[in-house]
Structures are given as structure tokens and as C-alpha cells.
Amino acid sequence: MLTNDQRHTLIQIANNARKWSYAPYSKYHVGAALLTSSGRIYEGINIENAAYPSSMCAERVAIFKAVSEGERDFEAIAIVTENGGSPCGACRQVLSEFSPDTIVIVANRQEHVLLETSLRDLLPYAFQPGDLAIPSTDDL
């Protein structure tokens, strides 16, 4: 269960991270703070690129940083944008790879929470690692 102090800390960290966002094209600065089950918090920012598909969302930056350091279980993620935009589908899918029960907090730059829900509710029927199971020839 996420405490009020943890929630507040995550939102503050995500909001502060926005200052490092690289968004020269959209001007839409996003910060994320990911709390892992070990208690560590990983920050992420969106990083745009002139070749738009090469850009990366703040949420995935935080997730990839955590995973690259051995973390695989996430408790909560806070995402802060100017207007409280929700995570994109790709970010939802990446989160579901590791922790489908992650709490997702969406806040605006004034740190007002606009949404707090589970990832399962944001991405019902997510494609999960178990969906890659190869059926036996008897199942065909």
C-alpha cells in the first residue's frame, strides 16, 4: 500500500525531473518517478528526437533505468506533465511486462493528482509474458 508520504515524494520527484526533459519539438515536458519494491526511486524524463519515432517517454526511461540495475518489481509510478497527461499505450505495455499491479499516479505541474489507479485498470487484457507460451502440437 502506498503511503501519503510516498505518493507526495514520487510526485515531487517527477515534477522536479521535468526540468531535465528534452522536448524542443513538442514543448511537452514529462517527468516520471518509479518506486520499486526494494524502495529505490528511479527518475525518467521524455527525450525527443528530430526523427520522431526515436523519441522516448519519461515512463520508459525510468523503467529501463530500473531494469538495467536489476529491478523487476514496481510498486508505483508518478507521471507529471503540464496538464496531467496519461501514460501512452507503449509505456503501459512496458510497465505490464514487469508489474501489472503497479499504482499509476498522474499529476499536473501544480502537483494536483488527476488520476490514481492500477496499471491493470489502465491496460485491461494486457499482452503478458505468459501469452508467448508455445502450445503443444496436441493443442493445435
Q: How far is CA 105 from CA 2, 22, 77, 83, in A?
A: 11, 22, 6, 13
**Can 71 be counted among the known catalytic residues?**
no
Q: What residue spans of the chain are helical by DSSP H?
A: 4-17, 58-68, 89-98, 119-122
Pick the catalytic residue from 59, 71, 82, 97.
59
Catalytic center residues? 59
